[in-house]
Amino acid sequence: MTAGTDRPGVSVIVPVKGRVAETRRMLQSIMVAAAQCPETVETILVDDSTPQDARQHQINCDRYGARYVRGPRHVGAKRNRGAELAVHDLLLFIDSDCRASPDLLRRYVAGMRAAPPEVVGIAGPTVVEHSKTRVFEIMRRSHLLNGDLEMPGAGRPLAWATTSNLFLRRSALRAVGGFAERTVGATGGEDVDLGLRLTGRGWIIRSDPDALVTHDRMSTDTVRSVCRRLYGYGRSEQWLSTVYPHLRRPRLMPIVALGLTAGIAVVTAHRSRGRSLLLLPVAGATAVGLGAVLRYADDEPPRRLSHAAARTMLEWVFDLGAVAEAVRLRRPVLLFTGFRSPDRDPAA
């Protein structure tokens, strides 16, 4: 990142590709939040959409007073581009499919101006908009899907926070060199990496449970959207495991265990006259059953055990992503480990 002016105020940085309707709602929410903010606010939209969508984004930026910028494909590079162009000393990172609460900027500015210099960030929870679809009902309790978004709701200091709702001192972002621009694909893991580099310096990211952002339900109410997110998360975890090998932990993924079981069953099928193949449905049913019990929430009625079982199978897509990335990297050790984010001291 290059140095720029740091006038008091807030620069809102939004990376986008497509999502015209969602981005319009986001821009509208920022305009409302800016009206309550005691300091000057600018919004910078960094886009690499198709020409048709880009034109609509430009129209919406003009309508809601945002600055439109063409940017690179990678989401980390987009955020860095926005931060370089920003004129203010405080940055809000929010995703294009999210909406800010009316008091978000006011809360963040008050919190940061009153904080000591070692507090370089504040994050609030991102709450997924309610949907009536069956997929949403099944997955709304998924820690893999929503746990990181909701993490700031506990009110504890954070090792990192999602960039769907993250408020930072621009000087701190500059000091660590900005977001990683070469991760798995165009997005994934760069927010974790940034947070770990910030807190690794001894700086603090606080959480504000009342600084709310709402996430559009479209990312959680279809099987396709859920699987796309989980697959990407699984791949990103493997990238983080290579960047932070000291944060790996032993982990046997159900998908890997079932694969090993299938291999053993096939190899021994002739000797056992096919009986070993019975291991496959038994192992699969056992894995689903155990996963359902572990994912079954205390406040769920007994009839929802089927939801826990479905949640288990959908969450295996995370493991598929992790396996695919381990194979691509030719790192078989990654098939038996997982990434563990460090806990922050609650007293910090």
Query: Domain containing 326: what range?
Result: 247-339
Q: Tell me: pLDDT of 38 over 90.
A: yes
Query: In this structure, is the dihedral angle defined by the CA atoms of residues 99, 101, 103 and 105, taken in order, positive or negative?
Result: negative
**Average pLDDT estimate for 75-90:** 97
CA distance 97 to 83: 19
Residues 27 and 112 in one domain: yes
> What are the C-alpha distances in Å from 194 to residues 5, 49, 163, 174?
22, 25, 10, 11
Q: What integer pLDDT is reported at residue 312 of this predicted model?
A: 81
Residues 186 and 58 in one domain: yes
Residue 320 burial (10 A CB sphere; 0-12, 13-18, 19+): middle
* Helix ranges restricted to H, 176-331: 190-199, 223-243, 254-267, 279-295, 305-329
User: For the chain, what is the domain count?
Assistant: 2
Q: What integer pLDDT is reported at residue 313 of this predicted model?
A: 80
Q: What integer pLDDT is reported at residue 275 of this predicted model?
A: 61
Residues 213 and 253 in one domain: no
| Residue 231 included in any domain | no
Residues 16 and 161 in one domain: yes
**Average pLDDT estimate for 186-215:** 94
**pLDDT tier, 256 (very low <50, low <70, confident <90, very high otherwise):** confident
Contact 66, 92 (CB under 8 A): no
**pLDDT tier, 29 (very low <50, low <70, confident <90, very high otherwise):** very high
Q: What integer pLDDT is reported at residue 299 of this predicted model?
A: 52
**pLDDT tier, 2 (very low <50, low <70, confident <90, very high otherwise):** low
Residues 6+ apart with CB under 8 A from 316: 254, 255
Percent of the chain at pLDDT > 90 equals 64
Contact 181, 74 (CB under 8 A): yes
Residues 46 and 115 in one domain: yes
The whole-chain average pLDDT of the chain stands at 87
Task: Tell me the pTM.
Answer: 0.87
Q: What integer pLDDT is reported at residue 143 of this predicted model?
A: 83
Task: Provide the CATH number for the domain around residue 93.
Answer: 3.90.550.10
Residues 176 and 266 in one domain: no
- The residue out of 156, 186, 221 marking a domain boundary is 221
Residues 261 and 212 in one domain: no
- SS3 at position 102: coil
Residues 206 and 278 in one domain: no
Residues 6+ apart with CB under 8 A from 51: none
Q: What integer pLDDT is reported at residue 265 of this predicted model?
A: 60
Q: What integer pLDDT is reported at residue 346 of this predicted model?
A: 39
Q: What integer pLDDT is reported at residue 344 of this predicted model?
A: 41
Lowest mean pLDDT among 70-79, 166-175, 190-199, 282-291: 282-291
Residues 197 and 307 in one domain: no
Percent of the chain at pLDDT > 70 equals 83
| Residue 228 included in any domain | no
Report residue 113 as tokens. 């101006």
Between residues 151 and 137, the one the model is more confident about: 151
Q: What integer pLDDT is reported at residue 166 of this predicted model?
A: 99
**pLDDT tier, 51 (very low <50, low <70, confident <90, very high otherwise):** very high
Residues 194 and 262 in one domain: no
**pLDDT tier, 44 (very low <50, low <70, confident <90, very high otherwise):** very high
pLDDT 10s digits, 316-343:
889 899 999 999 999 999 999 999 988 6
Q: What integer pLDDT is reported at residue 253 of this predicted model?
A: 81
**pLDDT tier, 117 (very low <50, low <70, confident <90, very high otherwise):** very high
